[in-house]
Structure 1
Amino acid sequence: MNDERLDAIYKKDVIKNVRNFSKNSYIFRQGDDISNVYLILEGRVGVRSTTESGKELVFNEYSKGEFLNLVNAFNGEKRSLVDFISIENTKIASIPIQHVYENYSILLLATKQMALTLKRAFEHAMIIYDGDAHTKVSRYISTFKDSKLNLTHDEIAKRLRISRPQVTKALNELESKGYIRTKYKEIEIIMD
């Protein structure tokens, strides 16, 4: 979402509460009472869950202009099924679900995001369940629209459910072939 759309949402006077979160802070924890939709004004948020056996699952990542808690809010769920964690310093605005329903432009943006999230989930499932580690890493990196990714090897490993050494090996191979350049916590895609 561009800054003009964010400004338009501000002008509609639907934002009721703005909160700041430092890096690696829980915005909401699994089981918390939440019923509104939340708009990211600045920063990035990771969506995670922990299984009964203690394994952490990384589902998605959202950034400026994207909404959080859409599915729960639209379904009338009052408890978070996942953890929302700030990946960097983040500013979040609360929008009551009723205001989303009453504002066609916000409802349209929210619906488009849900469709994109469903598409990402399908693509992610295809990546996780098909191919070796090198193929999974290559496909995963190709799904990003930005040419620079701020991800650690550990973050990629958790998302793809493979080991960190497998990620490192795959990234090294991609770098040796000239497809990417890596720096500390940064992957730059050189060619499409």
Structure 2
Amino acid sequence: MAGVRIAFDKELVLAGHFLLKHLEREELSRLASSARLAYFPKNGVIFQKGDPGDSMMAIIRGRVKICSHSVDGKELVLNIINKGGLFGEIALLDGEPRTADAIALEETDLLVLERAQFMPFLTARPDLSLRLISVLCKRLRQTSEHLEDTLFLEASSRFARALLRLVEVFGKPAPQNAIRLDIKLSQQQLGCLVGVSRESINKLLNEWQRSGVIGMDAGYITVRDRDALDEIGNTCA
């Protein structure tokens, strides 16, 4: 029974994904037959920098962080990808080793598309190639913005901008026009996201909570005054 459900889920996920939903039914069936499902527990390592780049992943359930580490063990979070998102596409296209680590932030199910089976679809479908290029362009823009923030902005501005980016991806409407982040990140993880210490994140969270910019509940952040957060993000920009 489980095998039947998994086979059905694979094609259903492919058919609903923005990158692949325009494929013909026969193409979807062929691609689904070559794809595999993979499960990772919370904090499970999906791949590490330098691993072979032989596949691309679509998130069916869960969330994944893409990160890099310095030689002394410091972590920089490059991106957090939600359900329905893709990652691993750079190595899939060029076949080179992975450029960063991918870690499951929570229990995560992935649909893994192997390079050997997926590349023929790109060759035969220019529209699919263009959609994948748009994903890569978005990633490049995000990386450029992240680098500029790190080089030119104060810690408070960097953190404000990071929260606003998280709002775009994980924000859920809350009472009184607030926006609740539907993702629970530790202060250490938030610090890694913007390249500042956990102590600095703690200080800013407490300061913004006292001033009514945000609210905190069981580790979840609610943005109560988006305009104020946007103003902080543009300070010294």
The interval holding the TM-score normalised by the smaller chain is 0.7 to 0.9
Aligned to 1:60: 79
Deviation at 1:99, TM superposition (A): 4.6
Residue 4 of structure 1 aligns with an amino acid whose one-letter code is: G
The gaps in structure 1 that reach 5 residues or longer are none
Which residue, 88, 96, 115 being the options, matches 2:137? 115
Q: Percent identity?
A: 23
Deviates further, 169-178 or 97-106: 97-106
SS in structure 2 at match of 1:49: strand
Q: Aligned partners of 1:91 and 1:103: how far apart in 2?
A: 27
CA contact (8 A) 1:152 1:186 kept: no
Which residue, 124, 142, 148 being the options, matches 2:180? 148
Q: Aligned partners of 2:110 and 2:24: how far apart in 1?
A: 13
Q: Aligned partners of 1:100 and 1:129: how far apart in 2?
A: 40
- In terms of Rg, which structure is larger? 2
Which residue, 104, 111, 118 being the options, matches 1:93? 111
Note if 1:172 corresponds to 2:228.
Answer: no
CA contact (8 A) 2:63 2:80 kept: yes
Deviation at 1:98, TM superposition (A): 1.0
SS in structure 2 at match of 1:115: helix
Residue 81 of structure 1 aligns with an amino acid whose one-letter code is: T
Q: Aligned partners of 2:188 and 2:119: how far apart in 1?
A: 39
Question: How many residues of Structure 1 are paired with residues of Structure 2 in the alignment?
Answer: 191
In structure 2, the CA distance between the partners of 1:132 and 1:38, relative to structure 1 (3 Å rule), is: same
Deviation at 1:181, TM superposition (A): 0.8
Q: Aligned partners of 2:139 and 2:180: how far apart in 1?
A: 21
Which residue, 181, 184, 190 being the options, matches 2:218? 184
CA contact (8 A) 2:64 2:102 kept: yes
**Superposed CA RMSD:** 2.5
Aligned to 1:133: 155
Note if 1:4 corresponds to 2:26.
Answer: no
Deviation at 1:100, TM superposition (A): 4.6
Greater helix content:
2
Q: Aligned partners of 2:104 and 2:71: how far apart in 1?
A: 23
CA contact (8 A) 1:133 1:170 kept: no
State the TM-score, normalized to the length of structure 1. 0.86
State the TM-score, normalized to the length of structure 2. 0.71
CA contact (8 A) 1:130 1:136 kept: no
Q: Which has the higher contact order (CA 8 A, sep 6+)?
A: 1
Note if 1:74 corresponds to 2:93.
Answer: yes
Deviation at 1:104, TM superposition (A): 4.6
CA contact (8 A) 1:137 1:171 kept: no
SS in structure 2 at match of 1:135: helix
Per-residue CA distance 1:44-100 (angstroms, 9 max, x = gap): 1111222223322221111212111111222231x2232111111111112233155
Residue 167 of structure 1 aligns with an amino acid whose one-letter code is: I
The gaps in structure 2 that reach 5 residues or longer are 1-12, 172-178, 227-237
